[in-house]
Amino acid sequence: MGEDTGISESNETEFIIRNMRPGEVSTAVGRAAEEGWNPGLYDGECHYAVDPDGWFVAESEGVIVGIVQFSNYDDNFSFGGFLVVKPELRNLGIGDALLRRGLSHTKERICGADGVFEMQDVYARKYGFIFAYRNIRWEGDIEGIKDHGFVRAAEVPFEELLEYDTRHFPAERRSFLETWISQPESTCFVSRNGDEITGYGMIRKCVLGWKIGPLFAEDEMIAEDLFLALCGSVDSGSVKSGPVYFDTPEPNVKAVAIAEKYGMVEVFGTARMYRNEVPELPLTNIFGVTSFEMG
């Protein structure tokens, strides 16, 4: 794909918009960490694998000054995130240029995004995003359990896990799930009732502590047990390995109740938005969001 050129609204900063190169993915994770979003250490590689053509940077004088990604999962659904512009160059039109380039990549697809609350009206007015619900990030020091009876994802046929995952997401995300559940410093547990999957959850190492996502389950009892098993998997006895973060859709009141039951504190939130159409999802079975950057 080609490059777009532009001049910031102050007429002082010239920049180009181009596709991100594979070696620059770590820059996106680093910028997200600087914003306090606490990405997973291996999120970049997992996310980039979905749609490399959907990652864009704004470059000025050879320096990356802004980033965004809009990854097309299939012909019908896309999800955007990692929108970061260098603080000293904000409100100059760079973010707008990145968003418009990224959205052009999604074409007529339904497009989801998790945005900060204060920008919600802008995303609606300028880009046509529709507010769906809040997501809440919780933080806590959870002891967890080690005796649980769940199996690891590697012990489950991948096609079965993919089918269960697809029930809880607007698209099949084969390439993403393959890399996501096999990343280093992570644990993925699956709940089964005979041959039937009744839930699964994942926890991964982040810049700070650990983050659960996704956590899908048929009911709140399975979800709570998975939550505790995942927390227990990163607790090495008397040595705590950092706080646990848990991102819950606010409409799932039972997910919120699990976080509150274990003394977790709300530390961040996003507005889940969609462009073109709000997909129907089984939110009562979605206890933990996979990622604010990828849906």
pLDDT of 100: 96
**Full set of structural domains in the chain with CATH:** 4-122 (3.40.630.30), 137-288 (3.40.630.90)
Q: How far apart are CA 9 and CA 108, in angstroms?
A: 28
Contact between 39 and 48 under an 8 Å Cβ cutoff? The reply is no
pLDDT of 242: 83
Q: Express as a percent the part of the chain with pLDDT over 90.
A: 82
pLDDT of 10: 47
What does the block give as tokens for 17?
């918009």
| Alpha-carbon 69 to chain mean position | 12
pLDDT of 1: 41
pLDDT over 70 at 7, yes or no: no
Mean pLDDT score of the chain:
92
Angle, CA of 58, 59 and 61, to the nearest 5°: 155
Q: How far apart are CA 233 and CA 212, in angstroms?
A: 11
pLDDT of 73: 97
Angle, CA of 273, 292 and 63, to the nearest 5°: 105
| Count of positions (residues) in the chain | 295
Ranges 39-48, 182-191, 195-204: which has the least confidence: 39-48
pLDDT tens by residue, 236-279: 544 457 899 999 999 999 999 999 999 999 999 999 999 999 99
pLDDT of 239: 46
What does the block give as tokens for 234?
């990163």
Contact between 216 and 250 under an 8 Å Cβ cutoff? The reply is no
Helices (H), the chain: 25-34, 43-48, 94-106, 120-127, 158-166, 174-180, 220-233, 253-261
pLDDT tens by residue, 106-138: 999 999 999 988 888 899 999 999 999 999 999
pLDDT tier, 182 (very low <50, low <70, confident <90, very high otherwise): very high
pLDDT tier, 3 (very low <50, low <70, confident <90, very high otherwise): low
Nearest to 50 by CA among 20, 7, 79: 79
Mean pLDDT of 194-200: 96
Burial class (CB in 10 A: 0-12, 13-18, 19+), 96: middle
Residue 158 CA: distances (Å) to CA of 178, 179, 255: 8, 12, 26
pLDDT tens by residue, 220-233: 999 999 999 999 99
Fill in the amino acid letter for 164: Y
pLDDT of 238: 44
Q: How far apart are CA 294 and CA 70, in angstroms?
A: 9
Per-residue burial over 166-195, b = 16 or more CB atoms within 10 Å of its CB, e = otherwise: eebbbbebeebbeebbebeebbbbbbbeee
- For residue 150, the SS3 value is coil
The secondary structure element, H or E, covering residue 7 is: strand 4-7
Q: Express as a percent the part of the chain with pLDDT over 70.
A: 94
Ranges 21-25, 161-165, 211-215, 285-289: which has the least confidence: 21-25
Q: How far apart are CA 242 and CA 41, in angstroms?
A: 14
Contact between 57 and 97 under an 8 Å Cβ cutoff? The reply is no
Contact between 113 and 124 under an 8 Å Cβ cutoff? The reply is no
Contact between 206 and 38 under an 8 Å Cβ cutoff? The reply is yes
pLDDT over 70 at 44, yes or no: yes
